[in-house]
Amino acid sequence: MHEQNRYLLGDSESEHTRLRDQSVVFDPLTRQLLTEAGITEGMSVLDIGTGAGNVAAIAADLVGAGGHVLGVDRDPSALDGARTLLGPKVEFAEADLASLDLDREFDAIVGRAVLMHTADPIEVLERLKHHLRPGGLLVMHELDVTHDWASVSTPLWERVRSLILETFAEIGVHNRMGADLFGAFRAVGLPDPTLTLSAPVGGGTEAPSFGWANALAALLPYLEQRGRVSADELDVDTLTGRLSDELDAADATLLGPLMYGAYCTVP
């Protein structure tokens, strides 16, 4: 049974730290998308599923002192951490996307890797479009994790990939949400979105192994509970190094999640 609408990666401080670490790779790609989409000075922006606040921080930088950013998340501890990091630059509020009902409209709504973790992405988009002013921008950045990750198949990489993809499928994560964005926008009557595609990629010391290792580490409690893997077997502290060593020995390239951007202007 799918355990949708529960963010399995957790609400702990270690998960907030993981999201901040992940942002080192993702933030430049998201900044490029928001800039291309037209997020600019003076705009009011809603950041959904803000988590550690990284996307909200990008938006706040783009809109400047004359703009305003509201970041919403259902995890109060994540919001506390985001407030500590960003101070008064961004307003934060607790809200569940499944029942989002704000008393204001925005010039733009943005989100990164959020729809893939919701039970019904179409329903969420339907709610979001009603919070945009006429002429407002909807900008989503979502992942597709179903591609071949490494250019050369190795035993440890195959094990890690299988554990992550199988677990995501079990709990109802939309593993191809990025590729499905175009259809999702159409499904709620939005204009056909402009699409972009980017991804972290590298080999040797530049291989983004830590991102996949961190994702599996976050899933460890779930996997242990179901007897799929033990902490000793996974050995989180050395996992990134072992993954990188396998790649390096094979002269292989590692591809991070495919990050699809989709944006449109609502009538």
Residue 47 included in any domain: yes
pLDDT tens-digit map of 235-248: 999 999 999 999 99
Residue 238 included in any domain: yes
Q: How far apart are CA 124 and CA 182, in angstroms?
A: 15
Integer-rounded Cα Rg, in Å, for the chain is: 18
Residue 2 included in any domain: no
Cβ(62)–Cβ(137) below 8 Å: no
Residue 228 included in any domain: yes
Q: Is the pLDDT assigned to residue 12 strictly greater than 50?
A: no
Please tell me the total count of domains within the chain.
Answer: 1
Residue 90 neighbours by CB under 8 Å, 6+ apart? 47, 53, 56, 57, 59, 60, 69, 70, 71, 82
pTM greater than 0.85 (yes/no): yes
Residue 6 included in any domain: no
Residue 4 included in any domain: no
Query: In terms of residue numbers, what domain contains 67?
Result: 13-265
In the chain, what are the helix, strand and coil shares in percent, each to the nearest 5?
50, 20, 30
pLDDT tens-digit map of 54-63: 999 999 999 9
8 backbone φψ class: left, alpha, beta (φ>0; ψ -120 to 50): alpha
Look at 236 and 125; give whichever has higher pLDDT.
125
Instruction: State the CATH number of the domain containing residue 133.
Output: 3.40.50.150
Residue 231 included in any domain: yes
pLDDT tens-digit map of 166-224: 999 999 999 999 999 999 999 999 999 999 999 999 999 999 999 999 899 989 999 99
